[in-house]
Structure 1
Amino acid sequence: MTARRVAVIGAGPAGLAAAAAALRAGAEVTLVDAAEQPGGQYHRMPPDAFRTRPRHGRRDFDRVLGHPRCAWWAETSVWTLERAEPGEAPRVHVLRGPADGDGRDRFVLEPDALVLASGAHDRVLPFPGWELPGVFTAGATQALAKGERLAVGDDVVIAGSGPFLLPVAASLLEAGSRVLEVLEANPAATVLRGWARRPWELAAQGGKAAELAGYAALLARHRVPYRTGRAVVEARGDGRVEEAVTARLRADWSVLPGSERTVPADAVCVSHGFSPQLELPVAAGCALTEGDRFVRVDDDQLTSVPRVYAAGEITGIAGAPAARAEGLLAGWLAAGGAPAAPESRRARLRRDQGRAFAARLAAAHPIGAAWTGWLRPGTVVCRCEETTYGALRDAADDPAGGAPRVVKLGTRAGLGPCQARICGPTVAELLARPANPHHRPIAQPIRLGELAAPDEKEQE
């Protein structure tokens, strides 16, 4: 019997696990990622260190990438998925080559099954001055520190919500920055209430507890204060960040008057959770959960589209261990592995534990509804098009043209290079109107010359 052809999109923890499981089940695997090296953000390291420095998971990389039935396509962007006939997996259209290089080649993959593990990116809520040079997302900060050993600043304030702020602080300290403080926007009562709910479930997350203890010890050693119920509500500077204004927040994230404090800093790193990258699942026709937040999957990680599986952050933000478990299950079943096999049962158990952790994470680090009180009329909301909060509200309040499409066209919010990937959820929330910023026939930028090039090549 001919081996199944499985395409895995994304080489982070979920994608690597999916590829490994599909290979064990006997499939021929094509693993695709836009990065030069596998591992995603979680395993990111400098290119030279990747080849020589021992690290957890490196042997797994070698077993997958060196397998005779695995084709590793690095620096490859999936720019669209073409829906196939009923019962068949979508055709995968890719561009091979550096994203900023010339002469990229177009290929089309026609797999028997598809595993989507495209991950997520930081969500950052706007505040006055967030468009200044020197304001970074926490993910970009960590990517530079881990991947290039570059510090974004000498004196850095880290702010936002969620445990991801801690490894970012650790990466900056290792890169030589002085971390002035780490600010969690939710008050201590909210954080403790979320993590203390159903405490017996924490027994399955012993590794997370040890990791948290390690970060706490590192911050204490470097005398970095960790403050809850406080956020950066403004960045100031002449041409770049020179100081950050922080303030105490109530539980709903409204600012407590008189609590503002100015901190001299040359960099501010912010993250208010994550937004899953849903462009490819939406292009494939996958149904989303309520509120269009994540990809809806069944107990086998199968989406609403036959032969299309999903794993990792696009199904819920639960951390790398849960992403690996979902990837193992998705890859095994996509390759035709037995649903009742011991591997499937173990993966389901770890996946369910990860989902419980995700629910706890969401309860401990929610986004307060009153954050919009930080904004002023001149605050930039869409950085690509420099659309301000005042312009957005004026367009929305116009009785003659307040429809969502008219507001979008009139203000240009979401029409810039990022195509609403960054500002889309924020604009929808500010307008109090449902919107799906992920519906794009072209998921990644492609040059007109590349699009007009001769017919795509079949998979090598």
Structure 2
Amino acid sequence: MAAAVTAAGLGLRVAVLDAGERPGGQYYRHPAPGLGAARPEALHHGWAEFAVREAALREHVEAGRIRYLPHHHVWTVVRAGAAEAGPGCTGSGRAGGAVPTAGWVLHAVAGYAPDERAAAVTARAVLIATGAYERHLPFPGWTLPGVVGAGGAQAMLKGGLVLPGRRVVVAGSGPLLLAVAGSLAAAGATVPAVVEAAAYTAYAGQVPALLRNPGKLLEAASYGGALARHHVRLLTRHAVTEAHGTGRIEAVTVARLDRDWRPLPGTARRIPCDALAVGHGLVPQLELATALGCATRPGPDGTVALVLDAEQRTSVPGVWSAGETGGVGGAHLALTEGELAAYSVAAALRPAADAPRTGRPERLARRRARLRAFADAMAAAHRPGEGWTGWLRDDAVVCRCEEVPAGRIREAAGDLGARDARTVKLLTRAGMGWCQGRMCGPAVAALAGAEPAADRRPFSCPVPLRDLAELPATDR
């Protein structure tokens, strides 16, 4: 949204293909109109900044400068007019190369079943802002009803005005836990504990990055104050190692962890609850970018992100990216990167004489560097320790879709010679289900002793066969 509004203001014609129903993405969710929410902004941080950009977006749409296409899930991007460039085509050249004259074709699934249809949009330049999804580290009982993602619990509250339960333990690692716990408690849930696997002392070595971002420190203090007001206990260097229940979760076991995230014997305790919101940060969603051949890099949090230059350009000429795809960093960083990318796209598509001559891009670049430094410090502090697999019994399910237990994955890695997630998948079916490894991928890689790798898929979402059959020959 930030990129679209900025680009339109610079004189570019913009098309926004949004997988969602309304602007705002995963962060600024809107309750359904039928719910009658009087103050949806009460559930969001920084709503005023969003409202300004949304109003600008609407203005540009009404003026014809932006074509806004909701319910459009892009499943592949191909070079326009290149017969050999089907799904999975690769780009060449260094970051910042010339924009291809032929441009791109973005193929999308528009609408929802059973009325979904194929859609295609052509463009001279593409900005990929596909965001991220939650990272889950499985444990015995995580498939019980009532166990939801931490971000999922927040989405339920923001989008549906519902709580996952009345007594909700919030667990995992990362600053999202504090925001989720505060939101749930403010909405009326009892939150007996926030169970954080990392230790906040890990930030001690990142003092320069912290001091450069006083706003982030104030934000953290506000979350801490909210927990104190609602009498929520914060347990650092602890993890939920098992969930208990018959038809639904009834309690969790929480244990203290050592520095490598191994549960310490004799420290386990039970906490009664009827819901568990758990997550260990976010994983950049890169399928569209990696299918184009965009280069990736390992992130400080153990995930994989795109390699981007100072102007948000990927390694494929004509393709930019902004937000969590370049490394998880939150909404403020995403907005900054989107605006910075728009200036870069405008400079690439317009003659040099017409390029914007303000100091805005330089100020945005400095802000991005400051926010990125904080994001990297945060990511390093909450990176999962290698010993977390110590709470996984052999009978614990790792791949929910295919119901593959940890013991079978350990057998594939230890006895059958699998050394990467792909080989484990072939031997056990872990990652072959509906989510295609998005839920279990990090866990499977850890059990196989493999380094994290970027997802490489020809399709970023399910596509009806009729849409593939009706593609022009140049795009097949």
Report the TM-score when normalising by structure 2.
Answer: 0.86
Equivalent residue in structure 2 for 1:91, among 105, 111, 127? 105
| In 2, Cα distance between equivalents of 1:126 and 1:430 | 11
| In 2, Cα distance between equivalents of 1:129 and 1:223 | 27
| In 2, Cα distance between equivalents of 1:236 and 1:51 | 37
Distance 1:414 1:146, change over 3 A: same
| In 2, Cα distance between equivalents of 1:351 and 1:65 | 26
Task: For residues 280-300 of structure 1, give each alpha carbon's deviation from its aligned partner in whole angstroms, at most 9, with x where no partner exists.
Answer: 111121110147710001111
Q: Is the 8 A contact 1:424 1:437 kept in 2?
A: no
Equivalent residue in structure 1 for 2:431, among 414, 430, 433? 414
| In 2, Cα distance between equivalents of 1:51 and 1:339 | 41
1:433 aligns with 2:444: no
1:328 maps to what in 2?
Answer: 339
2:96 maps to what in 1?
Answer: none
Q: Is the 8 A contact 2:420 2:449 kept in 1?
A: no
Shift of 1:399: 4.1
Shift of 1:385: 0.5
Percent pairwise identity: 43
**Pairing of 1:36-435 with structure 2 (within 5 A):** 36-48=21-33, 55-56=47-48, 57-67=50-60, 68=63, 69-84=65-80, 87-88=99-100, 89-98=103-112, 101-187=113-199, 191-194=200-203, 196-290=204-298, 293-336=304-347, 338=355, 341-399=358-416, 405-434=422-451
Distance 1:254 1:402, change over 3 A: closer
1:33 maps to what in 2?
Answer: 18
Task: For residues 83-105 of structure 1, give each alpha carbon's deviation from its aligned partner in whole angstroms, at most 9, with x where no partner exists.
Answer: 4557524321011113xx21222
Q: Is the 8 A contact 1:25 1:336 kept in 2?
A: no
One-letter amino acid matched to 2:194: V
Shift of 1:160: 0.8
Q: Is the 8 A contact 1:127 1:379 kept in 2?
A: yes
Shift of 1:175: 2.9
One-letter amino acid matched to 1:282: T
Shift of 1:53: 5.4
| In 2, Cα distance between equivalents of 1:134 and 1:96 | 32
Q: Which deviates more, 388-397 or 444-453?
A: 444-453
Task: For residues 108-147 of structure 1, give each alpha carbon's deviation from its aligned partner in whole angstroms, at most 9, with x where no partner exists.
Answer: 1111111111111110101111111111111111000111
SS of aligned partner of 1:106: strand
Distance 1:45 1:214, change over 3 A: farther
Distance 1:115 1:141, change over 3 A: same
Task: For residues 136-189 of structure 1, give each alpha carbon's deviation from its aligned partner in whole angstroms, at most 9, with x where no partner exists.
Answer: 1111110001111110011110011111101111221233211111011113xx
| In 2, Cα distance between equivalents of 1:339 and 1:276 | 31
Task: For residues 168-217 of structure 1, give each alpha carbon's deviation from its aligned partner in whole angstroms, at most 9, with x where no partner exists.
Answer: 11221233211111011113xxx2232x3353443442222222222112
Task: For residues 258-282 of structure 1, give each alpha carbon's deviation from its aligned partner in whole angstroms, at most 9, with x where no partner exists.
Answer: 0000111111111111110011111
Gaps of 5+ in 2: 42-46, 83-90, 92-98, 349-354
SS of aligned partner of 2:239: strand
Distance 1:357 1:237, change over 3 A: same
| In 2, Cα distance between equivalents of 1:133 and 1:77 | 29
2:8 maps to what in 1?
Answer: 23
| In 2, Cα distance between equivalents of 1:165 and 1:81 | 35
| In 2, Cα distance between equivalents of 1:454 and 1:343 | 41
Q: Which deviates more, 275-284 or 444-453?
A: 444-453
SS of aligned partner of 2:159: helix
| In 1, Cα distance between equivalents of 2:460 and 2:160 | 27
Shift of 1:449: 3.8
| In 2, Cα distance between equivalents of 1:290 and 1:155 | 37
SS of aligned partner of 1:336: helix
- The CA RMSD over aligned residues, in Å, is 2.3
Distance 1:148 1:339, change over 3 A: same
One-letter amino acid matched to 1:382: C
Shift of 1:340: 6.4
| In 2, Cα distance between equivalents of 1:155 and 1:225 | 13
Shift of 1:397: 2.8
| In 2, Cα distance between equivalents of 1:146 and 1:52 | 11
Report the TM-score when normalising by structure 1.
Answer: 0.89
| In 2, Cα distance between equivalents of 1:243 and 1:146 | 25
Task: For residues 19-61 of structure 1, give each alpha carbon's deviation from its aligned partner in whole angstroms, at most 9, with x where no partner exists.
Answer: 1221121111111211111112222231337897564121210
SS of aligned partner of 2:306: coil
Q: Is the 8 A contact 1:65 1:71 kept in 2?
A: no
One-letter amino acid matched to 1:45: H
Shift of 1:322: 1.1
One-letter amino acid matched to 2:193: E
